[in-house]
Structures are given as structure tokens and as C-alpha cells.
């Protein structure tokens, strides 16, 4: 297929948009190596905002962290053609396939396609714990990206990959329903507050909340209730019915593609919060007398720990450089569908609106819209076998509070044994992505440096590449029982 100037422009715009929603990088699904375990510190707040009160640390600073995750079931690179170490080469070029010179292959089959990315840059943050007074405080700063798509029919995926000249799908009427995709790029500043709500002999209850202010940098959504169409040949489409709504807000100038656009990098704002509660059954009876200083507190070993949490409850409202469009029962016989010459985003939008409504602005119904965060319910269970050995299990269930106008978190279950000491920690997570696709991971912590992946097969090249997954962080923690200047008489109380 020979690409015209207009097609090259659209492909370029697509790459820019993908870059915008992937600015942070691609995040490991739920990063168990960062958020699970007694030494998770401030990263445990991502999983449950009540976790800080039962920590070996009394003070913890995150210096920097990166999480990378992305998975889809539509496209892939054969395992024989890609090695993660290739990315370290300056002259590396991705392989290409077929007469279209694509950098990936399309999967066969008539199943529904989906994708999910959840990415994060962990910026400098801090956490303070005062067991004596039964509270914890944390200040969390991070930049995030999340995008998802589901119920994408195979016919649309194939036309997107092969182009309109995919003859195997010509002269067939396709009637597709309930297609959805949404994405966000934002920065958030969160205040975490934890509180001990009950302390009795061997039982400890804690609760926590993280309140976050959000700066929205980019967002989009598309909800297609129904599209019925026939592709007659390599340049003609008969769109017989379209019921859809969509919104877009990007930090570019829609008239000339300047980046950033006239509204800068922040196009919207919002609030969100996390809620959590944790129950701990301790091995020894809890102390009734507390030390005078937080750093002198003692970390009590436990039998098991059970946590429940609601994460990312909220949304971002885009009111700058935002467009919301509606296509209500429209149709169009589109000839010469390959011979367009768009050069700006507005030209694309105006032309599509004009084709369906006969007016370049008729589809525009609002200059603002909201996109929901990837809200989820999570349950966590941690069992202490003996000495340094633990078994952890947790599950995440998506709760898109804004329906198809929200990023939908991928459901996942984890089962993970781990070995844990103050200086070293090792975990082997077995996860089931979307409750069905198994993945085996590996992570380790060396003092306060953590490196891991939820999908070890990506590095061992045991399967085709249809996902990316890696995370790391560096922190500066201070453990309980170690003070900068001790008032006690025991050597172990000295830093």
C-alpha cells in the first residue's frame, strides 16, 4: 500500500498522540515488588493508604522510580526477532514485516481485541510515621499515564493494520457494538493520612486516605455504541450507521500542530482519593507502653495481614483545548477514502463532521468533558510462614465509575512467595492478567533499591512480544529502632 501525504500526516499525528499518552514510559501492572511487603515504605500507599502505620520504617523518602507496563492481544513481534538488550544499541532498528513494512504483526482470529497501559514516574516524596500517637503522614508526587481499550472487533483491527485494501473483508457488512477506548496523562500531588483505629493485645486495625489534586495534561475517550459498514474496495466505504461520542484534549495547537499549544501543558484539573483499611494479627502481644520518639519504636512481627482498598476514585475535567463530538445515527458513502490531504487536527475533525452532517462544526457539542481514572477495588492478604518467608495474594477488580468515559483498569490476581530481610528481599509473583493470562515475574530489593518485572518471559524470550513490563525505584528509608541521636542505653538504639 502506497501512503499518500495525508495518510502519512495521520500516521504522524497518531504517533504524536501515542507519545503523549506514553510520556511517562510504559508501568508494571501493580508493581508488587514496590508496593508489597513490610519494607515497601511509601510505595505501599499505592496499594493501600492504610499500610504505612505497620512498617519497619518511621521515615521514608522516595528519590525516583519508574514503572513500565503495556499489553495488548492484537499485535506482536515474534520472539525470535526481538531481544530487550537490543534497545541499548544506538543503531537498533525494529524489524519490519510485509509489504506495508509494519514494525509488528497482527494476530489472527475473530476474538475481541483489547489493550491496557498503566505507567508512572515516581517523583520525590516522603512519609512520616508516629506509632506513639497512632498516625502517619505522607506527601506523594507522581506523573502517570493510563489508557485502555476493549471490545475492539477483529474487522476494525484488521483494517487498521492492513488498510482498506484487505480484500478478505471486502463486501461484507459488519455490525459492531459497544467499542470503547480512553486515556489520560496527568500529574498528581497527594496527601496521605493514616490512623490507628483499634489496638488490642494481638489485633491491630488501621485506616487511611490519600487525597490527590490532579493536573491533566492530555485526555481522550471514544465510545461507539454502534457502527455498521461495508468496505467495497480499497478506497470506498459505505458507513450505513454510526452512533458514537468522543472527546479529545491534547497540548498541541489544532490549527498548526505547534507543541505545546496555546494553553500549555495543563488542560484540565480534578480530584481523586484512595481509601484503605488493614487488619493485622500479631505474633506477640502488642506493647502497651510507647517510646518517646518515633524512631525508637519497635516493629512487631505478625501472623497475617489483611487489607481492603478503593483506588483512584475520581476524574479529570478538561476545559482547555477540549472538544466533545457526537455522531447520532449518521451515515456516509465515502468515496476515495484514501485520497485525503489533512495537515492539521482541525482539518481532520472538520472534514469528518462535514461528511456526516454537512457542516464542519455540527458534530461539536461541547468544549469540555471529563474522563474517569482507573478506579479499582483491591484485596490483599499477607501470611508469615516462619522467620523470613511470606506468602502474598491480592486481587484487583476494575470499578469504572464513569462507565465507558473512563480508563478501565485491567483485572488481575497475584499469588507470590517472598523472602524478606532488612537488607535483601526476593519475590516471585504469579499473576493472572484479566483473570486468565498467566505471567511469572521476578523482583528483588537490595536495601532501598528495587528492580523487578511481572513478566519474566519478556526477558527470557519464552513467547512473542505483545507486552512490556519493568519497574525500579530508589528510596532513602530510616528504620525503627535506629535514631540519629539516641536517648537510650542500648547499642542497638544507636543509628
Give pLDDT tens digits for 149-198. Answer: 999 999 999 998 888 888 999 999 999 999 999 999 999 999 999 999 98
Residue with grid cell 482547555, as numbered in its chain = 320
- Cα pseudo-dihedral 451, 455, 458, 460, rounded to 10: 80
- Residue-range definition of the domain harbouring residue 101: 5-493
Give pLDDT tens digits for 295-321. Answer: 777 777 889 999 999 999 999 999 999
Lowest mean pLDDT, pick from 33-47, 269-283, 290-304, 410-424: 290-304
Instruction: Decide: 407 and 183 in contact? Cβ < 8 Å.
Output: yes
Report the pLDDT value the prediction gives residue 141, as an integer from 0 to 100: 94
Cell matching residue 393: 495474594
Is the model more confident about 63 or about 400?
63
In 3-state terms, what secondary structure has residue 258?
Answer: coil
The predicted model gives 436-441 an average pLDDT of: 87
Q: Domain total for the chain?
A: 1
Lowest mean pLDDT, pick from 242-256, 270-284, 474-488: 474-488
Most confident of 344-353, 411-420, 436-445, 473-482: 411-420
Q: From CA 47, how far away is CA 35, in angstroms rounded?
A: 6
Give pLDDT tens digits for 18-34. Answer: 444 333 333 345 678 88
Report the pLDDT value the prediction gives residue 486, as an integer from 0 to 100: 52
334 C-beta neighbours (distance < 10 Å), count: 19
What band does 100 get if pLDDT is binned at 50, 70 and 90? Answer: confident
What's the pTM value of the predicted model, to 2 decimals? 0.86
Report the pLDDT value the prediction gives residue 337, as an integer from 0 to 100: 79
Amino acid at each position: 500500500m502506497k501512503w499518500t501525504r495525508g495518510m502519512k500526516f495521520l500516521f504522524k499525528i497518531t504517533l504524536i498522540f501515542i507519545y503523549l499518552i506514553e510520556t511517562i514510559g510504559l508501568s508494571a501492572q501493580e508493581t508488587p515488588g514496590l508496593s508489597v511487603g513490610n519494607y515497601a515504605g511509601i510505595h505501599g500507599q499505592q496499594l493501600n493508604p492504610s499500610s504505612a502505620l505497620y512498617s519497619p520504617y518511621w521515615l521514608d523518602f522516595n528519590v525516583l522510580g519508574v514503572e513500565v507496563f503495556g499489553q495488548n492481544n492484537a499485535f506482536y513481534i515474534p520472539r525470535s526477532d526481538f531481544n530487550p538488550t537490543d534497545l541499548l544499541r544506538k543503531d537498533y532498528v525494529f524489524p519490519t514485516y510485509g509489504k506495508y513494512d509494519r514494525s509488528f504483526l497482527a494476530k489472527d482470529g475473530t476474538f475481541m481485541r483489547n489493550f491496557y497501559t498503566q505507567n508512572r514516574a515516581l517523583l520525590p516524596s516522603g512519609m512520616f510515621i508516629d506509632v506513639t500517637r497512632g498516625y502517619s503522614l505522607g506527601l506523594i508526587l507522581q506523573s502517570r499515564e493510563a489508557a485502555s481499550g476493549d471490545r475492539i472487533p477483529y474487522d476494525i483491527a484488521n483494517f487498521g493494520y492492513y488498510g482498506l485494501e484487505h480484500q478478505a473483508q471486502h463486501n461484507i457488512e459488519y455490525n459492531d457494538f459497544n467499542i470503547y477506548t480512553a486515556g489520560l496523562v496527568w500529574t498528581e500531588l497527594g496527601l496521605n493520612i493514616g490512623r490507628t483505629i483499634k489496638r488490642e493485645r494481638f489485633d491491630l486495625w488501621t485506616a487511611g486516605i490519600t487525597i490527590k489534586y490532579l493536573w491533566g495534561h492530555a485526555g481522550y475517550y471514544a465510545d461507539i455504541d454502534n457502527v455498521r459498514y461495508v468496505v467495497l474496495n480499497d478506497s470506498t466505504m459505505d458507513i450505513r450507521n454510526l452512533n458514537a461520542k468522543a472527546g479529545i484534549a491534547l497540548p498541541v495547537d489544532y490549527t498548526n500542530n505547534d507543541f505545546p499549544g496555546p494553553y500549555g501543558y495543563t488542560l484540565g484539573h480534578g480530584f481523586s482519593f484512595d481509601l484503605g483499611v488493614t487488619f493485622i494479627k500479631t505474633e506477640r502481644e502488642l506493647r502497651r507502653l510507647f517510646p518517646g520518639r518515633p524512631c525508637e519504636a519497635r516493629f512487631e512481627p505478625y501472623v497475617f495481614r489483611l487489607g481492603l482498598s478503593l483506588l483512584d476514585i475520581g476524574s479529570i475535567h478538561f476545559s482547555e483545548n477540549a472538544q466533545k463530538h457526537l455522531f447520532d445515527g449518521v451515515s456516509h458513502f465515502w468515496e476515495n477514502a484514501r485520497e485525503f490531504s489533512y495537515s492539521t487536527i482541525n482539518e481532520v475533525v472538520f472534514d469528518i463532521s462535514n461528511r456526516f452532517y454537512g457542516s464542519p462544526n455540527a458534530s461539536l457539542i461541547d468544549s469540555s468533558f471529563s474522563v474517569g481514572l482507573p478506579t479499582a477495588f483491591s484485596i490483599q492478604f499477607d501470611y508469615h510462614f516462619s522467620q523470613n518467608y511470606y506468602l502474598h495474594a491480592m486481587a484487583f477488580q476494575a470499578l469504572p465509575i464513569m462507565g465507558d468515559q473512563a480508563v478501565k483498569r485491567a483485572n488481575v490476581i497475584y499469588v507470590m512467595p517472598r523472602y524478606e530481610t532488612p537488607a535483601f528481599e526476593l519475590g516471585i509473583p504469579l499473576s493472572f492478567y484479566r483473570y486468565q493470562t498467566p505471567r511469572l515475574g521476578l523482583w528483588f530489593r537490595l536495601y532501598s533499591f528495587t528492580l523487578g518485572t511481572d513478566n519474566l518471559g519478556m526477558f527470557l524470550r519464552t513467547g512473542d512480544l505483545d507486552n512490556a513490563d519493568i519497574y525500579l525505584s530508589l528510596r532513602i528509608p530510616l528504620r525503627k529502632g535506629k535514631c540519629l541521636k539516641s536517648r537510650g542505653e542500648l547499642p542497638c538504639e544507636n543509628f
